[in-house]
Structure 1
């Protein structure tokens, strides 16, 4: 009996430690997401960095975000694809940026397997501040409803190992969602997710608080 009690106690301690670790990880993730939202709002509120028209900038108060959901912070298997041929990614204008498929992210979301292609901009990679920058454009079932019809983007860094963190809470709209004078990449069809991703930045509307 005493032995059983000791075993139960050890299991209880491990369970508490496990739950505590999950809570701590969630707390760190939420802080990063809130920081992302704060920085994005600062960029949009600044005359120097905002993509908004002068008229919209005068009325701007805040971007609108879905509620944070850390279940959409994904640890994906990262498969590098070093022998891909550079290609022109389609844009909303005649601009022809050159990208290369840098790798694939393999992950499970809501019990279903998905694969997303991750790209590297061949022009940006020559700049020191962007040499480890990766680009993830995607579409999902919220597009045209609660999120921008043209899809959203996520900025990533080249991982050191074989896994990469994709936090959909940090997905944002291309600048052409706010201002027609911008030219934006169009997410390749292969990067469509047949599921709703109700996190990140919502579609831009001139809500009362932005008027």
Structure 2
């Protein structure tokens, strides 16, 4: 076999392997649901059994389950990152009146609910990994089906100019379970005018 034929054969094999990997790497709906369910089970066990849980011992004794919306892949969105050129440190108010310092990093723009939405991504001044962000938001379900003080997401940049936001992973702050905890409030930029019917619902004592 000639050298150029060998090279073409090797290239062909590499392409086939790459394409095959691309298709097998795509997450199936079943795998996605299983992943979310496992995360919810982990969250329940942490709240129920961990020493750092916000629940009192009395609450733990009566704690049976967390309540979530049905898993809906439509609430997993790919957002465009819009950097903030002049990044500033913002003092974010907490529920007890104190404040925490976060860097205003960028905006995540995405399509959902028939409109373009934008959320401010904050980064703790103590964050070591510059691809990790804290996202606190409220929406039209807040104060009704979900906690009135908003919900949280921990998100990670997964593209040069993009980030995945999976609202199925939205969780309650500790103060939703125990008002003695102080929790960051969503910034005004993150008060969505659509209903996010995904993630954790309000905690029922």
Is the pair's TM-score, using the shorter chain for normalization, greater than 0.5? yes
Confirm or deny that 1:36 pairs with 2:31: no
Instruction: Spell out structure 1 runs of 4+ moving beyond 3 A.
Output: none
Q: Distance in 1 between matches of 2:79 and 2:172?
A: 22
Deviations 1:42-88 (A, max 9, x none): 11011413111111011112111111111000011112225311010
Q: Give the secondary-structure state (helix, strand or coil) at the position aligned to 1:44.
A: helix
Q: Distance in 1 between matches of 2:34 and 2:85?
A: 34
Q: Distance in 1 between matches of 2:117 and 2:28?
A: 24
* Corresponding position of 1:172: 171
What's the CA shift for 1:131?
5.5
Q: How many residues align structurally?
A: 182
* Corresponding position of 1:119: 122
Q: Distance in 2 between matches of 1:56 and 1:112?
A: 40
TM-score of the aligned structures, taking structure 2 as reference length: 0.82
Instruction: Give ranges in structure 2 of 5+ residues lacking alignment.
Output: 1-22
Deviations 1:142-161 (A, max 9, x none): 01111001110001123342
Q: Distance in 2 between matches of 1:82 and 1:36?
A: 35
Q: Distance in 2 between matches of 1:32 and 1:49?
A: 24
* Corresponding position of 2:191: 192
Contact kept in structure 1, 2:108 and 2:118, CA below 8 Å:
yes
Q: Distance in 2 between matches of 1:190 and 1:109?
A: 16
